[in-house]
Structure formats: C-alpha cells, structure tokens
Structure 1
Amino acid sequence: MPTILGQNQYGKAENRVVKITRDGDTHHIKDLNVSVALSGDMQEVHLSGSNANVLPTDTTKNTVYAFAKEYGIESAEQFGIHLARHFVTSQEPIKTARIRIEEYSWERIETSDGNSRFIGADEVKHSFVRKGQETRVTQITFDGEKWEVISGLKDLVVMNSTNSEFWGYVKDKYTTLQEAYDRILATQVSARWRFNWSGDEQKMPNWEKSYDQVRKHMLQAFAETYSLSLQQTLYQMGSRIINNRSEIDEVRFSLPNKHHFLVDLKPFGLENDNEVYFAADRPYGLIEATILRDGCEPHIPVDLTNL
C-alpha cells in the first residue's frame, strides 16, 4: 500500500538555560526551558536516511547556549525571536522554526534589617527564591491525650548565584568533578518541623505567624551563609529556626542539589565568565539531616519529608 510523508518536525526539546547578568554586586536571573522544533525540506531524511538537509539537534542546543551569551536574554519572547530567525535564515532547507519557552521567575530574598546582627536587606543582591513557591503541609497526631504537630513545606526552590564553593573533597580514580570556588548553589527545599506543643494545658502556638517566621528564618539563613557545602547551609537554616522559634524543637530537611554546570562555549569562540549554565535535573545529590534543640530526641520520621 503506497504511503506519503505528512507533517514532520525535529529539534531539541527542553534545553534548560540559566543566564546570570552581573551588574556589579547586583545579579539578575533569566531561567528558561527552551524547546526548538524545525521543519522544511526533510523528506529525504525520512525516505532514504540522507542527512544532507539536517542540522543536528545537538547544534540547536549549542545555539541556545551561545545565543544566551551573544544576545543575552532580555525577555523570553525576544530570545525566541533571535533563535527562530537564526534557524530559518541561516539554513536554506529549514522553512519553519518553532521555539517554545517556559520561564521560571525568581524574586530576591528579603534579609534581616540593618539593625540586626545580620546583614542589611540592601546588601544581599544575589539570593533568590523562585516565584510560585512552596506547598505548605502539616500532620497532626492525637492519641486521646497528647498531640503531635509536624508542619512544613515542600517545593521551595532557592538559589544563590555566588557566595558558594565546593572543594577539598575526597578524590579517587573515579573522581572527575572539578573543584569550584564560585558556583551556583540551588536546591528545592523540603522541610518538616515539630512543635513542642503537646497538650491543651500548654499555650497553643500562633500557627500562621509561626509558619511565616520559620520560612523567613530559613530563607535568610540560606541567603546569608557563605556556603562551602550544601550540608553547611542546611545546618545554618535549621539552627536559625531553632534559635529563633521557641515553639519548635526539631527540623528535618531534604535538600536535592539542583546542579548548575558551566557550559563550555570555547568551541564557538566565546568565553563563559560564570554567565551561562546548564541546569541539570538528574542525577542529583540529595542532602538530608535533622537539626534538634539541645536535649531533645528526634521524632520526625525520615520518610515524612514525602508528605
């Protein structure tokens, strides 16, 4: 039975590109998920396997990263226009380019005021929390006498675009990771905290205020810690909560390390001065720990972070 080739396209889907614009000490983030689909005179690659008209999908990926450096990312729309125009005008067989972009917005983390023992809000210009933010969770257990309240949040994505290093680690014959002295530190926070309120004879915490304050201290610790490891940052986040919120005795964190790797732009004759990164979603390092008030026993189950 005779057949004909219908609508077809090809390209590279979900190219994660993060562009850091450094305006002195103030940093600006554009975080995009870019999908490229190309169509045109592509009959022969389907019918005979000839690649004569095919621009490799790996090249489309490289173009996304190179354009982030060459043109910057003023807006998702403008970036997509640059890409589409390039693919159609530079390759005669390509008649149509479809660029789909998802943009993940970030806002700056508000830090402590200048009169506190922490640095002032106008001094931290490189710490961000992703908009859309977290899901709030809680678990209440009552056995007829005692209450256990464990609250928390998940999917709170945070990033420091500098003030993070990772070096001095154990190396063996399988180690290829290069030491980093200025890296992006990003994670998707899943946290649970246990209240020491256990019965009606105690004054009940102000749950709304407590949540807001725990979240604030968690983010401030993330922003204000010069990090030599995600473990160190985790401990500072938990300690800040315990030290500032008397109603909480235990905090458990599960922090996946959302790796950002510098893209090698040298093949395109471009330098990458900590500007263009590949945001990898897997595999990822997973850092977990519990921070306790001195003298308290742990009660939060390990698997509760999946609540």
Structure 2
Amino acid sequence: LSVMDDPAWKDDIGKLANGFIGRQQNGAWHTTTANLWGGLALEKFSKVFESTPVTGITAATLGAAKAQVDWSKVERVKTTDPAGAPHQTTFFGAPASPGNLRNNTMFVPWATPPVRDTLLVTQQGTGKPWLTLQSIAAIQLKAPFAAGYAIKKTITPVEQATAGKYTRGDVLRITLEVNASADMTWVVISDPIPGGATILGGGLGRDSQIATQGEKKSGSGWPAFEERSFEAFRSYYQYLPKGVVKMEYTVRLNNVGDFALPPSRVEAMYAPEMFGETPNARVKVEAAK
C-alpha cells in the first residue's frame, strides 16, 4: 500500500504482488491482520493496474519471427485437466498447476544467423496485460552461474573398482549443496545422471539398501517429492527458505561410454529468473576387467 503510488516502485510492483500472493497458505495469509491488510492491498492493486479486463490480441515481433496470444482462448488450468496437479491444496503458495493460465505464452525464436534486433510487443484490445520476458540460449555453461541460487556438486565413490576411474558397476554418492538468497515457494533441484545409470533408493529390483546407507540431508528445507528418473535426480521443495540446504543420493553406473551431461540446476518454478547452474564434466565409464 505504501509504494503503490510511488514512481520509484513502478517497475517492481507486479513482482511484489506476485510474491505477496505466493506467501499465502491454503488461500490465506497466516494471521488475521495479514489477511485484512493483504485484501486491502490487492484490492487497491487491482483498481490501479487491472481495472480494465484484457481482451484482443497481444503480438510479439523479433525480426521476421512473430507470435501472438489471443485472449479469448486463454483459460485457467483445472485439477481435472491432464496437466493439472493431483493435489488441490498445499502448505505454501499456490498448487503446481491449478489456477495458472494456459494459451497465454509466446515463443519467438532467435534469428539464424544471429543478428542484433529489437523485440516489439503490442496489445490490440482493451486492458494492459502483464508481460514476463525470459531469454534462453543454447550456450555451453563453462563456469557456475548464480542468480538468486548457487548450487555446488560433489561426487564421492561408495564402491569403485579402480581408483580414479569410473567402471561399470561403480556406485557413487552425489552431494548437492544449494544456497538460496531468499525464501521461495516451489523450488526444484535437478541433477543429470549418465545414460543407463540407476538412482538407488527407489525400491526397484536389484536396488541396494546397503549402498544408500549414509545418505544425509541438512538445512531448513524439506522436499515435498523426490523423483528418481532414468535421466536425472529431481527434488521438489514446496517451500525453500533462505540459507543452505544439502541433499545426497546414490547412483550406480550401468553402461560403458563417454557421457556429456547438461548442467545441474536449481530454479524457482514460479520465478524462473531466480536460478543457479553448475557445469558437469564429461563422464567416461569403462568396462570392468
């Protein structure tokens, strides 16, 4: 309320409102006072910035590339939809999908060959839609990058046939350390594994409870779900507070080969500008002798 009419906060007021709503728990804030002031703040915010409904077409142009959003086709995701979240309520913030919009995104590819150009976005219709801009480029990461999050990865052999080399059948302990600069809801940490490798601890056949003994977790964050897929280990946090959180998982190398891995990444799902990455070296797995 105090910065609503302050020109110095004009560019950040939308982010403040988005983060403010994300602090809700089951559709409400934690105290009666917070709910009173929160309702007044959002009511005034809507009158100032969202008094006119958005209709028509929003178009984006970058050189010869064009894309658009037809607001008559924009609708909210429901829990009953195939892409909807299985749970309608959460402890912190909004559910993973319900309440979000679909058909409201545009993708404008870079020119080939690359040229310097200007992105032009126009609104033909009523209202002023909010625009979140994210640039993505397929550039090899050569050094750790931190934008709100810093991630560090450590590999420790648990069972290794030959010291200093990776051999088929080796078991490795992976430690991920994430340093968050601010509290955030719905954060995911993703760490790739070599092709054909198996993440232990999922209870599948040929799994090893002995090999996973000693896995540790520390920090204030507690994962809502851990995914052990054939391509990566992913840990989803419904709420990840500011500070350092550590987690470990165990992987067994099953295939021989020279594997190139994408970076390990941590990202706030609803604030993708907050992320961190660290590059992974190539992993060469040799046959057992």
> TM-score normalized by structure 1?
0.25
Higher helix share: 1
> TM-score normalized by structure 2?
0.26
| Structure index of larger Rg | 1
